[in-house]
Amino acid sequence: MDIAPPKHWSQFWQQGHITTFGAALKDNYEGAIKNFWLEQFQTLPPTTELLDVATGNGALALLAAHYADDHQRDWRINACDLAEINRTGDEHPRIELHSGVPCESLPFKNSRFDFVSSQFGFEYSDKAVSLAEIYRTLKPGGRFAAICHHRDSYTLQESRKEMAIYQQGLEKNNIFRAAIAYYQAEAEGAADTAEKQKGVNYAVNRLRQGNAGNPCCDQMVGAISHAIRSAGTRVQQETIAELVSMNDEFTGAYQRLQDLVSAALNAEDMQGLVVLCRNAGFTGVDLGQVFHAPGQLAGFSLIATR
Ligand SMILES: C[S@@+](CC[C@H](N)C(=O)[O-])C[C@H]1O[C@@H](n2cnc3c(N)ncnc32)[C@H](O)[C@@H]1O
C-alpha cells in the first residue's frame, strides 16, 4: 500500500524529539503510561521479537530496550513509522528503526513477532487494514497491546484549545501570509505597501484579542515580532524566507493537532475496535482505561491475543 509520509510528522521527528509531547516529555514517557508498558514487558519471555508500530522516534522501543538491558532479556525490537523519522537520535543496538512504513502494510513476514505495540499510533491509520496486518505478523498466541487517544483525556482537551488558536492565527487572520505580503510589497515598492503593513498589525491584534498570554498565540506573535525586528538590518527576501519557514513550522504543529484530534476515540469507537479485532482473527480482546491520576485520563488500552 502506497501512503505518502506525512511531512508535518517528519518535520517534528527530524527536530529530534523522543515523544509526541516534545519538551513536555523530553526523556521518555513516565508515570501511568510507562507503568502500563512495564507491566506488559514483565509478561514477555526472555527471548522475544517485538514490533512497535507508528513509533515516531522510537520512545516505546527505547523503553523496551532499556527493560531488556536491565532484566537480561534477549529481545530484538523493530520499530516503524510512516514518517521520515530521525535515525540519528538515541539509537540502541537492540532496535531497528524503519521510516516510511505504514501500519497498513508492514514489511515483515507472517508470524514473526511475539508482541506488537502501538502507543497513540495505529489509530492514526486505517484501523481495519492495520489490525489485519498486525495479526498477520504476530505468531499464534502473540499479543497486540495499544494505548489509544481518548477523546476526553486532558491531552485532547488541551489539543482542541491549541488547535483553535492555530486556526485563528494561520487560517482566520493569516498572520504570516499578511506579513509576507507586506515585505513582498515593500521589496517591489508597491503602492499599497502601507496598506499591507496596516494589514499585519490588524491581523496580529485580532489574534491577540482574548488569546494574549496563551503560549501558542505568544509563540506565533513572537515569531512575527522577531522577523519584523530583524527586517531593518537585512534585505526583504531574508525576512520573507524567515516568515515562510515560521509559517511552515506552525502549520505543521497545527496539522499534527488536527491528526491527533481526528484520531482520538470514544467508548463507542473502542467497541468498534473490538469488532475489527475479531474480524481480523484475534481471539481475546480486552479494553481498559489508563489514568495519570484518579480522574485524569491518559487513554484507552486495548490488548488483543492472536
Ligand atoms: C502521536 S504520534 C505517536 C508516536 C509514538 N508512538 C509516541 O508515542 O511518541 C503518531 C505517529 O503516527 C504516525 N502515523 C500516522 N499515520 C500512520 C500510518 N498510517 N502508519 C504508520 N504510522 C502512522 C505519525 O507519523 C506519527 O509519528
pLDDT category of residue 178 using cuts at 50, 70 and 90:
very high
Encode pLDDT of 89-134 as tens digits: 557 999 999 999 999 999 999 999 999 999 999 999 999 999 999 9
pLDDT of residue 32: 92
Question: What spacing in Å lies between the alpha carbon of 43 and ligand 1's midpoint?
Answer: 25
Residue 18 has pLDDT above 80, yes or no: yes
Residue owning grid cell 491475543 = 305
DSSP 5: P
114 lines ligand 1 (CB under 6 A): no
Pocket probe mutation, ligand 1, options 124, 149, 265, max atoms within 8 Å of Cβ = 124
The fraction of the chain above a pLDDT of 90, given in percent, is: 85
Question: What spacing in Å lies between the alpha carbon of 224 and ligand 1's midpoint?
Answer: 30
Question: What spacing in Å lies between the alpha carbon of 121 and ligand 1's midpoint?
Answer: 5
Q: What is the 3-state secondary structure (H, E, C) of 132-144?
A: HHHHHHEEEEEEE
59 lines ligand 1 (CB under 6 A): yes
Answer yes or no: are the C-beta atoms of 236 and 187 closer than 8 Å.
yes
* Cβ neighbours of 107 (radius 10 Å): 11
Q: Which CATH number fits domain 7-153+264-305: 3.40.800.10, 2.60.40.10, 1.10.3720.10, 3.40.50.150?
A: 3.40.50.150
Atom of ligand 1 nearest to the CA of 5: 25
Handedness of CA 122, 33, 57, 62 (dihedral sign): negative
Pocket probe mutation, ligand 1, options 1, 2, 3, 9, max atoms within 8 Å of Cβ = 9
pLDDT of residue 89: 54
Atom of ligand 1 nearest to the CA of 85: 27
Q: Domain map of the chain by residue range? A: 7-153+264-305, 155-260
CA dist 21 and 277 (Å) reads 28
Question: What spacing in Å lies between the alpha carbon of 138 and ligand 1's midpoint?
Answer: 20
Encode pLDDT of 289-301 as tens digits: 999 888 889 999 9
Closest CA relative to residue 126, chosen from 261, 262, 19, 12: 262
CA dist 82 and 136 (Å) reads 19
Question: What spacing in Å lies between the alpha carbon of 263 and ligand 1's midpoint?
Answer: 10
Closest CA relative to residue 246, chosen from 161, 167, 177: 177
Encode pLDDT of 122-152 as tens digits: 999 999 999 999 999 999 999 999 999 999 9
- 106 contact partners, CB below 8 Å, separation of at least 6: 51, 53, 80, 133, 134, 136, 137
H/E stretch holding 52 reads strand 47-53
Answer yes or no: are the C-beta atoms of 77 and 65 closer than 8 Å.
yes
Q: In the chain, how long is the greatest CA-to-CA distance?
A: 74
Question: What spacing in Å lies between the alpha carbon of 237 and ligand 1's midpoint?
Answer: 35
CA dist 61 and 95 (Å) reads 7
